Amino acid sequence: MPSTYLYGANVNANGIRQHYLRYGGNEGERAKRDAVILIPGITSPAVTWGFVAETLGRQFDTYVLDVRGRGLSEASTTLDYSLDAQAEDVRALAQALKLERYAFVGHSMGARIALRAARTQPRGLTRAVLIDPPVSGPGRRAYPSKLPWYVDSIALATKGIDAEGMRAFCPTWTEEQLRLRAQWLHTCDERAIRASFEGFHTDDIHADLPKLRVPALLMTAERGDVVRETDVAEMQTLAPELQHTRVPNAGHMIPWDNEAGFYAAFGDFLGARLV
């Protein structure tokens, strides 16, 4: 099947350089549908979600973001890596790209960014997909992953690591997935990762849920212990219109574990089925 990848580009939005990858375009049937802004997780540069964007791009004009401090987006010793800054980034990105109607699709940290951005009801946002968001926060249980898992692997990648060396951190991944992570992980700024990980435990995303005014889909993994059934119930109490689907045979990195199940879980929520 032909690739839907179009190009990578940079834009100045929210006062920083934001890099993104574009898939699909806005011609044909895609022109009738809302664009998609895909927001990856804490140590996932945009390119590592390319295989998902390929599929999204068959139905939607798709933009995959390098969150600040990751990939080819801006990073520095003075950059604000807070959740609020990241949320303002995606709002500003949509404006800079002149998107009239668009959806957020965020994974893990990206889901928290999408939710924080959505609470301000940005112009043009039509829906949001929140994929296995960390539900940690003030007074709540800790996020299951530990900071050294991220920091240690980044340190090794910065010096140079191959796929086999990365296998110790991601033992279930394929050779291709490991090679890509080994190639790009060094672009994740440790300061950004530390700030985001700390934010998992200090930012209260549950306070954002009652302010959600667009249709939203919560997609969770059957394994990984990131979002439990009790968490889903609480989130739906706070946002009664929040839809939920759980993907079987998958841990937190859902499309890596069960790609077909991941696409099926969207149903027609975005306006067209992915499978």
Residue type, 80: D
Cα distances (angstroms) measured from residue 274 to each of 40, 60, 151? 18, 10, 34
E-only strand ranges, 68-187: 102-107, 125-131
Distances (CA, A) of 96 to 14, 47, 57, 92, 184: 9, 21, 20, 6, 26
The whole-number average pLDDT for the span 150-156 is 97
pLDDT digits (tens, 9 = 90+) for 242-260: 999 999 999 999 999 999 9
Q: What is the pTM of this model?
A: 0.98
Structural domains of the chain, ranges and CATH numbers in brackets: 5-155+190-265 (3.40.50.1820)
Mean pLDDT across the chain, nearest whole number? 97
Tokens found for residue 49: 């979600």
Confidence class of residue 1 from pLDDT cuts 50, 70 and 90? confident
Tell me which residue of 55, 79, 78 sits closest to 67, measured CA to CA: 79
pLDDT of residue 136 exceeding 90, the answer is yes
Strand ranges for the chain from DSSP E: 5-13, 16-23, 35-39, 62-65, 102-107, 125-131, 216-221, 243-247
pLDDT tier for residue 231 given thresholds of 50, 70 and 90:
very high
pLDDT > 90? residue 123: yes
Question: What DSSP element (H or E) covers 152?
Answer: helix 147-159
Pairing of strands 102-107, 216-221: unpaired
pLDDT in tens, 138-151: 999 999 999 999 99
